[in-house]
Amino acid sequence: MTASATARQEVGSLDTIVDVEGVVRTYGEIRALDGVDLCFEPGIIYGLLGPNGAGKTTLIRVLATLLRPQAGSVRVAGIDVLAEPTRARARLGLAGQFAAVDEYLTGRENVEMVGRLYGLPQTEARRRAHDVLERIGLTEDATRRVGTYSGGMRRRLDLAASLVGRPQVMFLDEPTTGIDPRNRLELWHLIEELVATGTTVLLTTQHLEEADRLADRIGVIDRGVIVEEGTADELKDAVGGAVLELTVAAELLPRARQVIGEVTSEEVAELDGRRLRVAARAGSRTLTEVVRVLDGAAIEVDDIGLYKPSLDDVFLALTGQPTAPADAQGPEEDGQPGVSGTASPRTGRRAARRSR
């Protein structure tokens, strides 16, 4: 049984942990949220994916009771956030885009303080702070001032500080933006552990890799509206089936194009001087057929691969915008042609997580 399924059992009584209907929030002329509907069950990681300015942060702020919408209803953990914000706050945790930790307090003092503000008695706050720090591997640094922490440590502390209140749902606004790949991996593990222990997570991200790896369900948000929703695979399927890409010598390109067009009865697109792309409706059978006819025509193939559309393609198709620049999130692994794969590297990694 997966961790998510277990968690769903534990939380039990609630069908939906987040239930947002028709939420509108404007800033003057700008409609930051333009009728958002969002609803999901406890025990999962929900990934909210969208370009800059899509409304991700605004939605998180509405959910975390920081911002009142002009219209719509918001329920978190079964509580009407607009009517009873304090009750909702007792059940939610927030980690924003910046590590909101006090530099002049120690790690332990930071976590303890948040515990006190969740309404815990001193001794309980201390006990839980100890547990939380152990979980995030900061026990050794607990008595040091946060001012001496690295960026990654601060992020972990920021994320973990809310755990002291044992929230049913955590809202994480771009939790890994601006941190290096190693620390990103650590944060990902932390988020996965969080869900394994029964906390629901809603995270926003501009990075497809993150959504693909972490999220059980993804909502694509653009111009204040959720434009599409589903699992990563569902979203990819919605955009179209698999694509075959191959590279041949430039002088062989026109012939290769003709031959492939005949065998697949599809339009063959030329990507640059040496690469071709064609829809592979029959998946790997298309691949086999193409290889066979090219072999028959004595056209040597330098590189060939079958790709499922990446979330990048999904994103582009839905929002008309390319995703965040690659440099912000480390090397992009997507779209690198390779001879072996019948699926993108991401899909493989995702499968690995599922089977754990």
Partner 1 sequence: MATTNTSMPVHDAPLREKATLTSTVVDSWVITKRNLYRNVRLPQLLLFSTVQPIMFLLLFTYVFGGAIGRSLPSAAGGEYINWLMPGLLVQISVFGAGQTAIGLTDDLAKGVIDRFRSLPMARSAVLAGRTFADLARNAAVLTLMLTVGFAIGFRYQTSFWAFVAGVLLALAFSYSLSWVMAVIGLYVKNPEATQSAVFLPVFPLVFASSVFVPTETMPDWLRTFADNQPITTVTNALRALMLGEGALLEGQDLTTQLLISLAWIVGITLVFSLLAIRAYRRAVD
- When binding is defined by CB under 8 A, the residue of 17, 32, 47, 65 that contacts partner 1 is 65
Nearest partner of 212 among 346, 79, 64, 16, judged by Cα: 346
Binding residues for partner 1, how many (CB under 8 A)? 49
64 binds partner 1 (CB under 8 A): yes
Nearest partner of 314 among 223, 219, 225, 216, judged by Cα: 219
3 versus 263: smaller Cβ distance to partner 1: 3
20 versus 253: smaller Cβ distance to partner 1: 20
Least distance from partner 1 to the Cβ atom of residue 119, Å:
3
193 versus 303: smaller Cβ distance to partner 1: 193
What mask of x and - would describe binding to partner 1 in positions 186 to 225, judged by CB under 8 A? ----------xxxx--------------------------
Least distance from partner 1 to the Cβ atom of residue 217, Å:
21
* Token digits of residue 253: 């390109």
167 versus 224: smaller Cβ distance to partner 1: 167
What mask of x and - would describe binding to partner 1 in positions 134 to 163, judged by CB under 8 A? -x---------x---------------x-x
Rounded Cα gap, residues 139 and 107, in angstroms: 9
What mask of x and - would describe binding to partner 1 in positions 248 to 287, judged by CB under 8 A? ----------------------------------------
- When binding is defined by CB under 8 A, the residue of 53, 78, 116, 283 that contacts partner 1 is 116
Burial state string for 125-137 with b = 16 or more CB within 10 A and e = fewer than 16: bbebbbebbebbe
Rounded Cα gap, residues 278 and 242, in angstroms: 9
3-state secondary structure 60-88: HHHHCCCCCCCEEEEEECCEECCCCHHHH
- When binding is defined by CB under 8 A, the residue of 96, 240, 261, 337 that contacts partner 1 is 96
Q: What is the side-by-side order of every strand in the sheet holding 71-76? A: 30-40, 18-27, 71-76, 79-80
308 binds partner 1 (CB under 8 A): no
Rounded Cα gap, residues 78 and 92, in angstroms: 11
131 versus 262: smaller Cβ distance to partner 1: 131
Whole-number Cα distances in Å, 288 to 4, 122, 255, 285: 38, 67, 18, 5
38 versus 161: smaller Cβ distance to partner 1: 161
11 binds partner 1 (CB under 8 A): yes
100 binds partner 1 (CB under 8 A): yes
Which range, of 44-52, 60-68, 204-212, 293-301, touches partner 1 by CB under 8 A?
Answer: 60-68
Q: Are 196 and 3 in contact (CB under 8 A)?
A: yes
123 versus 265: smaller Cβ distance to partner 1: 123
Nearest partner of 221 among 213, 176, 211, 282, judged by Cα: 211
89 versus 236: smaller Cβ distance to partner 1: 89
Contacts of 283 (CB under 8 A, 6+ apart): 241, 242, 306, 342
- When binding is defined by CB under 8 A, the residue of 24, 90, 293, 317 that contacts partner 1 is 90
Q: Are 347 and 308 in contact (CB under 8 A)?
A: yes
93 versus 219: smaller Cβ distance to partner 1: 93
User: Position of tokens 């699992």?
Assistant: 231
Rounded Cα gap, residues 203 and 78, in angstroms: 19
Q: Are 181 and 101 in contact (CB under 8 A)?
A: no
Binding site for partner 1 (CB under 8 A): 1, 3, 6, 9-11, 61, 64-68, 86-87, 89-94, 96-100, 102, 104-105, 109, 113-114, 116-120, 124, 131, 135, 145, 161, 163, 165-166, 168, 196-199
